[in-house]
Structure 1
Amino acid sequence: MSGPTPPKGKLISHFEGCSVDDHGAGWSSLWDTGNSDLWDRGKPSPALIDAIEAHQRGPDDFFCPFHANGARKKALVPGCGRGYDVVMLALHGFDAYGLEISATAVKEAQHYAISEMKSPQAYNFGEGYQGAENSTRGAVTFLEGDFFQSDWCTGVEFDMIYDYTVWPESNTWGISCWSS
């Protein structure tokens, strides 16, 4: 016997009945009205930090921030929000790019990045990470645009894309649009 259906959360209700074409405006509306607390956890992904630090030991490791020729690798975080993961990637040596559909989110991410790159919080690093003081920091860049459109991509090629928000939000239309 199943119990009563739990009430829908504010985030689900916000997008319910909304066409895919209107999702960008929906996300921007949430940012513009100060509702980013519905999804913002206030720090970078601990799992991403663990993965990077476990596989960043040598030049052949995937998460080494440099190519064999010494060029810095570029990482993209679509749907980056305030940019926690973007900044953390830069602190680990990548040139990190955050993409957001909301102008408000981009401004908040830029503000966060300025502060955090000057004085990084411990939550950007795993316990006992030795590279925090010795690593050269990468650059942080935030772009405003729709991940499923090509107008935001200015010829930069990325070595890594870290996504956990845009792809789950997409559907068949979005996937086919992006892959083309």
Structure 2
Amino acid sequence: MLKMRRVWGGGVRGQMPSHRRHFFDKVGRDWEKAWSEKVTPWELKGVNPSFVEGLAKLSPPSSTANRRTALVPGCGSGFDLLHLHSQGWEPTGLDISAKAIDIARANVGRDADAISLVHGDFFATSATSPLELASFDLIYDYLFFAAIEPDMRAACAAQFHALLRPDTGRLLTLLFPLALLPSSTSPLSSNTDGPPYVLSLDDYRRILEPAGLVLEATHAPTRSIKPRRGRELLAVWSRRAAN
């Protein structure tokens, strides 16, 4: 059984849970400070079981079955990278926090030669990006899109699209914390209660689809950890030509 730290979720409708207020009070939006001071309430001490379930349902792209590349932006402690590697993927983890990359490097241990870890900015321009464009078969988004500022979401969607391989690239999102109602009717999608921001599937579609990421399938995880049951949703998006 996984041991875990306290995880984000729950709280009163329209009210920020106390541990998220604590995050703001202690580290603001400084991700380096958050990792250095261990203020990471979203972290699990192991791979997310919902991700294990979602990846198992994702068939590999036929044209690149012998070399499947995956990117995890905001990779944090790196446990999901280890699972990707165990399933035959060639994973790359990116994080803006140097401390997070150090932690991930320690966690991947003997598999370090097979897992790429990059300290860098996901939003860097193509000329300065540490990542090669159109080079990934899969991008796994877990609490990355939901943690960035709302005015950065369109740029995030465009970067997802640019990094995925044409025709075969797919984005796997684990939506959490999930708004249970569409954003137009639910206070849970307010732009004032993040990070992470509570978003609905409609919120994702409104931003991802104009960027050329088309919803392919959704799945409600059956293996969510107890505090997140009913608050997670897996969604797979296919890369198409951007509008």
TM-score, length basis structure 1: 0.65
**2:136 counterpart (122, 135, 158):** 158
Deviation at 1:51, TM superposition (A): 2.6
Q: Which has the higher helix share?
A: 1
- The equivalent residue for 1:34 is 38
Deviations 1:7-64 (A, max 9, x none): 7434434337x9xxx83xx11111112323x221111121221233344xxxxxx3x3
- The equivalent residue for 2:201 is none
**2:109 counterpart (99, 111, 114):** 114
- The equivalent residue for 2:98 is 103
Counterpart check, 1:146 vs 2:121:
yes
Alignment check: 8 A CA contact 2:70 2:140 kept: yes
Deviations 1:128-164 (A, max 9, x none): xxxxxxxxxx921111122223334332511111112
User: Structure 1 residues 45, 69: closer, same or farther in 2, change over 3 A?
Assistant: closer
Counterpart AA for 2:137: D
Alignment check: 8 A CA contact 1:98 1:142 kept: yes
SS in structure 1 of the partner of residue 117 of structure 2? strand
SS in structure 2 of the partner of residue 166 of structure 1? coil
User: Structure 1 residues 149, 13: closer, same or farther in 2, change over 3 A?
Assistant: farther
Alignment check: 8 A CA contact 2:71 2:139 kept: yes
User: Structure 1 residues 52, 8: closer, same or farther in 2, change over 3 A?
Assistant: closer
Q: Which has the higher strand share?
A: 2
2:53 and 2:102 map into 1 onto residues whose CA distance is 28
User: Structure 2: 5+ residue runs without aligned partners?
Assistant: 1-11, 160-243
Counterpart check, 1:45 vs 2:54:
no
- The equivalent residue for 1:123 is none
**1:83 counterpart (78, 82, 101):** 78
Counterpart AA for 1:158: F
User: Structure 1: 5+ residue runs without aligned partners?
Assistant: 56-61, 119-137
Deviation at 1:96, TM superposition (A): 0.3
- The equivalent residue for 1:14 is 23
SS in structure 2 of the partner of residue 42 of structure 1? coil
Number of residues of Structure 1 aligned to a counterpart in Structure 2: 142
SS in structure 2 of the partner of residue 76 of structure 1? strand
User: Structure 1 residues 6, 70: closer, same or farther in 2, change over 3 A?
Assistant: closer
Deviation at 1:67, TM superposition (A): 4.7
Sequence identity, in percent?
25
Let me know the Cα RMSD of the aligned residues. Answer: 3.0
